[in-house]
């Protein structure tokens, strides 16, 4: 339901304008001097791939260290726009702009769970639009920006799954299972395309599945009807479909990964952390702002503050049902975001992949880093009022884990929600917030 009154009218006007400005900034940064430099070594390999047929691309990719999915997509793109440096790089630039859109949509989900205004998705979108790492690879005719986009898309569809819904539907009411399976189909396509794009995408799928499993276990803890063994089996089946779609290339993938060229270097933990932060903050740029340590410190602290903000933000439901504090609301989204950011970094650290050839794999973690940094204001009271908009709450029936109380004019309290009830799952208040 849309917000009413002057605040709602102002919001409906300002939010699209602010988002459009961010998208214009992202477009400018990604297309500015896109063909200023000639194709470099790896981009030359990409250009050579485009001169082959689809079958020849697959055969050449089998002898290389990357699957052929990106080259196939780029060949279709080149058929429309040509084989120039600008045309080849514009595919990555478009993927970079779409990444801003996807992160903004994820930011909306987080803001809705935290009960805050549109500053959060706008900050996340702005961070992605201006992030040097993401801008750099948006101007390169390689698969890394597509890899970041597909990873963000997987988490967007993941957080839209039924188990991540904050308010499970009542029996007899419309549910997400009765709606067209847009999220499920999108998840399958994005996961399969990610596997065909780069072998490191497996770590993104691992993070997504651990996030889903953690959510399922939390719902089991509060006896949600969504956390059934049937739900778990359905999720496993959903993830088997992308694996089956990737199955023709799986033997080649195993051989390529086992024979991956050694390029990592052994470094100390502080040096590895500094290299990770430098990549996330400055990208592969050799000339950085000096002194660099304040920027690196901010790059480390802001995501941690964002995680802390998600963990402590309170909504009206938690004053009545404190047991659900770790399951519903913003805290329930802290775990997926932490895994999205942490697993690629943990992979780099465990394998010692601290070299220019491998640090670019952190691009899959960069959107999560931007989102968590955008959540940092939650720690300072952003959960109640932010800029020009405040969450409004609309009363609705409150349910407890063991009962359903029909609508009443009483203010729901732990003492009143247990009288004259029918067995049913809890349904907390809904929020009257739509941007």
Domain ranges of the chain: 5-397
Confirm if 393 and 431 have CB atoms less than 8 A apart. yes
Instruction: Please enumerate in sequence order all residues whose Cβ is within 8 A of that of 408, keeping only pairs 6 or more positions apart, or say none.
Output: 397, 416
CB crowding 342-369: b at 16 or more within 10 Å, else e: ebbbebbbeeebbeeebbbbbbbbbbbb
State residue 327's pLDDT score. Answer: 59
pLDDT, tens digit only, all 435 positions of the chain: 345 545 556 777 889 999 999 999 999 999 999 998 888 888 999 999 999 999 999 999 998 889 999 999 999 999 999 999 999 999 999 999 999 999 999 999 999 888 888 899 999 999 999 999 999 999 999 999 999 999 999 999 999 888 886 544 444 444 545 555 788 999 999 999 999 999 999 999 999 999 999 999 988 888 888 889 999 999 999 999 999 999 999 999 999 888 877 666 677 788 888 889 999 999 887 667 778 888 899 999 999 999 999 988 765 444 444 444 455 677 889 999 999 999 999 988 888 777 777 888 999 999 999 999 999 999 876 444 433 333 333 333 333 333 334 444 444 444 443 333 333 334 344 333 444
pTM: 0.84
d(Cα 149, Cα 146) in Å, to the nearest integer?
A: 5
State residue 134's pLDDT score. Answer: 97
Through-space distance between the first and last CA atoms of the chain, rounded to whole angstroms: 9
The secondary structure of residue 169, as a DSSP letter, is P
Confirm if 423 and 402 have CB atoms less than 8 A apart. yes
383 is written with which tokens? 């959960």
Confirm if 59 and 136 have CB atoms less than 8 A apart. no
Report the chain's C-alpha Rg in angstroms. 23
State residue 335's pLDDT score. Answer: 92
């Amino acid at each position: 339901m849309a917000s009413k009154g002057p605040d709602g009218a102002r919001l409906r006007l300002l939010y699209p304008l602010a988002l459009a400005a961010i998208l214009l900034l992202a477009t400018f940064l990604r297309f500015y001097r896109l063909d200023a430099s000639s194709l470099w070594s790896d981009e030359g390999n990409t250009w050579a791939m485009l001169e082959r047929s689809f079958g020849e691309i697959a055969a050449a990719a089998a002898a290389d260290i990357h699957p052929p999915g990106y080259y196939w997509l780029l060949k279709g793109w080149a058929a429309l726009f040509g084989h120039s440096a600008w045309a080849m790089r514009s595919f990555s630039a478009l993927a970079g702009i779409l990444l801003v859109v996807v992160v903004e949509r994820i930011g909306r989900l987080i803001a809705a769970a935290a009960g805050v205004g549109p500053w959060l998705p706008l900050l996340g979108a702005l961070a992605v639009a201006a992030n040097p790492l993401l801008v750099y690879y948006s101007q390169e005719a390689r698969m890394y920006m597509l890899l970041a986009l597909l990873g963000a898309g997987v988490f967007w569809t993941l957080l839209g799954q039924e188990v991540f819904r904050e308010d499970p539907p009542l029996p007899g009411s419309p549910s997400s299972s009765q709606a067209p399976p847009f999220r499920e189909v999108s998840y399958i396509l994005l996961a399969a395309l990610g596997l065909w794009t780069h072998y490191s995408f497996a770590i993104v799928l691992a993070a997504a599945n651990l996030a889903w499993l953690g959510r399922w276990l939390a719902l089991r803890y509060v006896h949600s009807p969504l956390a059934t063994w049937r739900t778990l089996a359905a999720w496993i089946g959903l993830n088997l479909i992308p694996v089956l779609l990737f199955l023709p290339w799986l033997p080649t993938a195993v051989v390529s990964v086992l024979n991956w060229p050694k390029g990592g270097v052994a470094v100390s933990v502080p040096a590895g952390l500094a290299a990770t932060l430098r990549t996330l903050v400055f990208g592969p740029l050799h000339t950085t702002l000096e002194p660099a340590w304040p920027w690196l410190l901010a790059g480390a602290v802001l995501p941690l503050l964002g995680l802390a903000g998600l963990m402590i933000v309170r909504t009206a439901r938690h004053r009545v049902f404190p047991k659900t504090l770790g399951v519903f609301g913003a805290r329930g989204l802290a775990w997926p975001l932490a895994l999205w950011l942490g697993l690629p970094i943990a992979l780099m650290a465990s394998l010692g992949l601290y070299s220019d050839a491998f640090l670019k794999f952190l691009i899959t973690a960069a959107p999560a880093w931007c989102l968590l940094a955008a959540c940092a204001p939650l720690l300072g009271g952003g959960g109640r009022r932010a800029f020009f908009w405040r969450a409004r709450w609309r009363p609705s029936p409150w349910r407890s884990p063991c009962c359903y109380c029909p609508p009443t004019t009483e203010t729901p309290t732990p003492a009143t929600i247990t009288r004259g009830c029918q067995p049913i799952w809890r349904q907390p208040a809904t929020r009257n917030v739509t941007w």
